[in-house]
């Protein structure tokens, strides 16, 4: 008897159990629409009939090119249920990059969210695979009998292309057993977070489903029969967040930093008694963390907790929030402490696409600021040469698609080499220091990770969009600062960040670039990480001039 891939069968069972309960919603043009468990299953059934009518073979690759939506979820589930390998593609990525990925994996079919996305592919790729719009797929085909494929946990279910900070995107092959293992871990952790709550979890979701962590989160939410409300307009995140009033949601550090800056700016504009209480409370909180409280600090913190912090929480996120979950990159300690000051827990997660999104997760009841929690149960993590984090376990990917040499380099002696530097304390909580390939080697021979210095400057320079530390092979460090920033403000931030640092970690020069680095400009990956080599190449003349001027002084 043929069967569904186990984790898909489990999700379908949960949707049947939530037949009359809304499990997905989306906000579009200010209006909320949704689907119950039975409605989502019916969308999946129709999509499966269309897919089955194309007579693809189990194991064929299928591109999925669209922005987040309920329809994306239905088609993704349908493709997987039909035994096909889904290749999710980020809709904001340049057509040339998308085509490069598709040529690499040779899809038998491409599912497009709308005609504009389809046309962008066909105009640049004359012999592209057959492309079908969501409208066609979800209309279904009458009379098609669904034959569920024989598939087990060893089946490949996904090829997710990495963000490619080095300029080359690699297809990470994810198996059903990778996903099954991970869903057990994430569901358990969310159950722990919501242990004291009754009823359905309410979740706000804005991160693209094409990213491994976002997709694993989505499947976990469906497995838990949560209500997931999908943001469809990134410019309305703040409004949509308040509308939903979530219990928790997944974030990247960039958004949390932006939320923090927005509160500071609004209170400065408001002024008066709220600003006084907020400013005094912030100072008191900082001194408390340093173990240097002053007389009167407790009063200011009490006043803020009664009069100011609740209003900030309600206006920013709503009154239901249990925690923010943050991944993709390390969150600055200052930002995590700021949310804690407001009474909001921030739980950190660390992982890579190659580890099916997750290696560590904060325990909701034992958060250690500045760290990303312990290794998840059932996998191993340790430090290798150069303090590189290496991992092994059921969550580790099988291979890079069509790249045996790079697979062999990443998977050695049974361990996946992450390329991240870290450290672990006696409690088993990990801290991520940075990427090994990002190490800057000064002319003096000193080696350092740029990320902590960038974080320190960014914290002191809220008007900046990005800070990029440079200096490989040079005599000292400099910074590229993007945004509407005055030179004197930038210098003050550098002076503050430099205080207490050893001489070789001090930033002695800077250049201001008004335009922020972007995905479209080829200087950010699709999930917002800096493409340092591309930035260095694009700004070579300005960097050379910066060092030439200072050398002449």
Q: Tokens 């949704």 correspond to what residue?
A: 34
- Region 91-97: mean pLDDT is 84
Tell me how crowded residue 11 is: count the other CB atoms within 10 A of its CB.
26
User: From residue 360, how far is each of 189, 249, 347, 371, 471 by CA, in Å?
Assistant: 11, 17, 11, 10, 32
Which pLDDT score is estimated for 150? Answer: 58
- Best mean pLDDT range from 436-440, 465-469, 472-476: 465-469
The candidate with the shortest Cα–Cα distance to 448, out of 502, 491, 390, is 502
Determine contact, residues 391/397, Cβ cutoff 8 Å. Answer: no
Which pLDDT score is estimated for 128? Answer: 87
pLDDT above 90 (res 352): yes
Determine contact, residues 85/157, Cβ cutoff 8 Å. Answer: yes
Which phi-psi region, left, alpha or beta, contains residue 272 (left: φ > 0; alpha: ψ -120 to 50)? left
- Region 153-159: mean pLDDT is 85
pLDDT digits (tens, 9 = 90+) for 173-211: 999 999 999 999 999 999 999 998 888 999 999 999 999
User: Between vectors from CA 108 to CA 105 and to CA 112, what angle results, nearest 5°?
Assistant: 95
Q: What is the DSSP string of 443-507?
A: TTS-EE-HHHHHHHHHHH-TTEEEEEEE-TTSSSEEEEEEES--HHHHHHHHHHHHTTS-GGG-E
**What's the pLDDT band for 146 if we cut at 50, 70, 90?**
confident
pLDDT above 70 (res 43): yes
Distance of alpha carbon 29 from alpha carbon 115, whole angstroms: 20
- Percentage of the chain exceeding pLDDT 90: 67
pLDDT above 70 (res 153): no
- Region 453-471: mean pLDDT is 90
Q: Which residues pair with 350 in a beta bridge?
A: 360
pTM of the model: 0.86
Select the more confidently predicted residue: 149 or 25: 25
**What's the pLDDT band for 133 if we cut at 50, 70, 90?**
very high
pLDDT digits (tens, 9 = 90+) for 266-287: 898 888 999 999 999 999 999 9
Residues 6+ apart with CB under 8 A from 335: 253, 256, 257, 260, 346, 459
- The single-letter DSSP state of residue 433 is E
Select the more confidently predicted residue: 4 or 7: 7
Select the more confidently predicted residue: 157 or 144: 157
User: In order of start, what are the domains of the chain with their CATH numbers?
Assistant: 6-247 (3.40.50.12780), 253-319+321-436 (3.40.50.12780), 439-552 (3.30.300.30)
- Region 231-250: mean pLDDT is 92
The candidate with the shortest Cα–Cα distance to 465, out of 267, 264, 237, 254, is 254
Residues 6+ apart with CB under 8 A from 508: 476, 477, 478, 550
User: From residue 102, how far is each of 295, 384, 443, 469 by CA, in Å?
Assistant: 64, 35, 42, 34
- Region 230-246: mean pLDDT is 91
pLDDT above 70 (res 551): no
Distance of alpha carbon 481 from alpha carbon 370, whole angstroms: 24
Length of the chain (residues): 553
User: From residue 509, how far is each of 28, 387, 450, 535, 547 by CA, in Å?
Assistant: 45, 29, 15, 17, 8
- Region 292-303: mean pLDDT is 93
Which pLDDT score is estimated for 553? Answer: 47
pLDDT digits (tens, 9 = 90+) for 96-120: 889 999 999 999 999 999 999 999 8
pLDDT above 60 (res 1): no
pLDDT above 60 (res 246): yes
pLDDT digits (tens, 9 = 90+) for 359-372: 999 999 999 999 99
Which pLDDT score is estimated for 9? Answer: 92
pLDDT above 90 (res 446): no
């Amino acid at each position: 008897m043929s069967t569904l891939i186990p984790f898909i069968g489990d999700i379908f069972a949960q949707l049947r159990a939530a037949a009359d309960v809304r499990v997905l919603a989306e906000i579009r043009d200010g209006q909320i629409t949704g689907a119950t468990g039975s409605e989502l299953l019916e969308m999946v059934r129709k999509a499966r009939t269309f897919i089955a009518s194309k007579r693809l073979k189990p194991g064929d690759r299928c591109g999925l090119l669209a922005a987040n939506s309920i329809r994306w979820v239905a088609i993704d589930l349908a493709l997987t249920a039909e035994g096909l390998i889904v290749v999710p593609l980020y809709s904001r990525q340049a057509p040339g990059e998308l085509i490069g990925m598709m040529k690499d994996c040779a899809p038998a079919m491409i599912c497009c969210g709308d005609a504009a996305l389809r046309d962008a592919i066909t105009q640049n790729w004359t012999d592209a695979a057959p492309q079908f719009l969501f409208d066609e797929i979800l209309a279904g085909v009458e009379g098609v009998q669904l034959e569920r494929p024989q598939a087990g946990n060893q089946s490949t279910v996904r090829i997710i292309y990495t963000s490619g900070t080095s300029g080359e995107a690699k297809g990470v092959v994810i198996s059903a057993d990778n996903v099954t293992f991970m869903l057990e871990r994430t569901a358990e952790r969310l159950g722990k977070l919501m242990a004291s709550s009754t009823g359905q979890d309410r979740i706000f979701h804005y991160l693209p489903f094409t990213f491994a962590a976002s997709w694993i989160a989505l499947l976990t939410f469906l497995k838990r029969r949560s209500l997931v409300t999908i943001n469809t307009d990134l410019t309305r995140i703040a409004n949509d967040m308040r509308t939903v009033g979530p219990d928790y949601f997944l974030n990247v550090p960039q958004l949390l930093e932006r939320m923090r800056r927005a509160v500071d700016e609004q209170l400065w504009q408001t002024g008066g008694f709220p600003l006084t209480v907020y400013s005094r409370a912030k100072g008191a909180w900082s001194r408390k963390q340093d173990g240097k409280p002053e007389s009167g600090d407790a009063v200011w913190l009490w006043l803020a907790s009664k009069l100011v912090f609740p209003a900030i929480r309600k206006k920013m996120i709503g009154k239901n929030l249990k925690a923010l979950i943050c991944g993709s990159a390390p969150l600055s300690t200052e930002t995590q402490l700021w949310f804690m000051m407001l009474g909001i827990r921030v739980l950190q997660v660390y992982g890579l696409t190659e580890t099916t999104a997750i290696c560590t997760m904060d325990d909701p009841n034992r958060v250690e600021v500045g760290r990303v929690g312990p290794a998840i149960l059932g996998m191993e993590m340790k430090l290798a040469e150069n303090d590189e984090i290496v991992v092994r376990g059921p969550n580790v990917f099988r291979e890079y698609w069509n790249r045996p040499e790079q697979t062999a380099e990443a998977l050695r002696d049974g361990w996946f080499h992450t390329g991240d530097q870290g450290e672990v304390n006696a409690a088993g909580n990990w801290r991520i220091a940075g990427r090994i390939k990002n190490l800057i080697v000064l002319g003096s021979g000193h080696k350092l990770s740029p990320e902590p210095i960038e974080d320190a400057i960014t914290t002191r320079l809220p008007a900046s969009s990005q800070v990029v530390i440079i200096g490989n092979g040079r005599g000292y460090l400099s910074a590229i600062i993007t945004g509407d920033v005055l030179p004197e403000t930038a210098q003050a931030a550098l002076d503050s960040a430099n205080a207490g640092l050893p001489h070789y970690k001090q930033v002695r020069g800077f250049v201001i670039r008004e335009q922020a680095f972007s995905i479209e400009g080829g200087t950010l990956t699709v999930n917002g990480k800096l493409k340092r080599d591309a930035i260095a190449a694009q700004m070579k003349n300005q960097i050379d001039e910066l060092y030439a001027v200072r050398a002449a002084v």
